[in-house]
Amino acid sequence: MSATGRPRDFRQPQRSPPAQIGVSGDGSRQDPALSFIVVTFNGASAIVNCLRSIFMQSLRPAEVIVVDNNSADETRQLVQAEFPEAMLVINDRNLGYGAANNIGVRVASGSVICAINQDVTLDADWSLEMLNFLLSHERCGAAEGKLYLSDHPKILNSGGSYVNLLGFGCATRYGEEDSGDKAPKIVSYPSGAAFAVRKQAFDDVGGFDESYFMYHEDVDLGLRLRRAGWLVFYVPSATASHAYDSSVRSWKIELLERNRWKTMVKDFPDGYFFRCGPLVLIFEIAVSLQLLSLGFFGAKIRATLGFLKDLRKISRTRYITRERSSQLIRDYASLTDEMPATLSIDNRWVRLAAKLQTKYRKAFLNPRASDKTNSS
């Protein structure tokens, strides 16, 4: 790995000083608390627009760090030529999204980390809105903003990220027109597409779990932040556009399914499989049949085998933190009934799945009993 610049020694914990907004050489406002990290992999077609939107923020970051996962296209050359002020870290292989972000965080000097996908473009006040919210809500460990679809500017990619009873990470209100909502709200996790996190909170939970490689690592991060006592918020005033790829591929299904099960075993509360076992079984059969009809049943099999191979390691991780795990999801009723758009399945099945989750929760997961049990 090489970098333009000398990384600091992070063997001892460090705390950044309070943020003080200053003025950069071109007269724009600049905040030394903000460090932006963009992980790239064969992103030549998108990276210029992404980085341009970061450098054009009304509140500019003190540093922008690009961590490249051994791209085979012109991504690195574009970054070096168009944005020489960015720090470029080059990995000798594709380490995955979480591991690459962890590398960026270790190099970063800011007390607030902004992780942005290479296919996201930020509106001009994104960083200002995020920093203002974090500074005014001390229990907020991380925050995500409102995401639009790049090719449909007023159609939502996400209006808040939640986990459902089956372990799916759901970008709620996907495909809907923007309702103009302004009020922040607590969510389950910060979307990995674009979010801000306090470095202290990120360090508290050990950063991203690098075993995920890709998909659901943001879900896992959000649930671990909650377990550590932090809150995660959706801040709709911080807006961005995402060139979201809704296509279904075999490798994508494999990673999504393997990591969904990993997250349930690792992060969900004690007694989850006892309480929700019948619901999980019904949905596993339904998902398998749906994937079979789409020609992706092989991906489901590989995902299951990969999960079982790692089960002992996952269970050991849960065992270490079991005393806090039961506090993770305090109220089953706070979880969404939506299904993720990433599955691209029949809408009738999605509506049926939502209704079944709702009825199951009302019948077997009494919210008051759940709160009482988890608070004891």
Running along the chain, 376 residues long, what does each successive block of 10 average in pLDDT? 34 33 48 91 96 96 96 96 96 96 96 97 97 94 97 92 91 91 94 97 94 94 90 97 88 94 87 87 88 90 94 80 50 66 63 80 62 35
pLDDT value of residue 376: 31
pLDDT value of residue 6: 30
Q: What is the residue type of 373?
A: T
pLDDT value of residue 2: 41
**Alpha-carbon span 279 to 368, nearest angstrom:** 20
Tokens for 238, please give them.
């911080």
- Give the CA-trace dihedral at 355, 192, 122, 25, to 10 degrees: 160
Q: What is the 3-state secondary structure (H, E, C) of 6-59?
A: CCCCCCCCCCCCCCCCEECCCCCEEEEEEEEEEEECCCCCCHHHHHHHHHCCCE
Domain boundaries, the chain: 24-242, 250-375
Q: Running DSSP on this structure, what letter comes out for residue 212?
A: G
Q: Say if CB 173 and CB 156 are below 8 A apart.
A: yes
Q: Which CATH superfamily includes the segment(s) 24-242?
A: Spore Coat Polysaccharide Biosynthesis Protein SpsA; Chain A (3.90.550.10)
pLDDT value of residue 318: 74
pLDDT value of residue 320: 65
pLDDT value of residue 345: 59
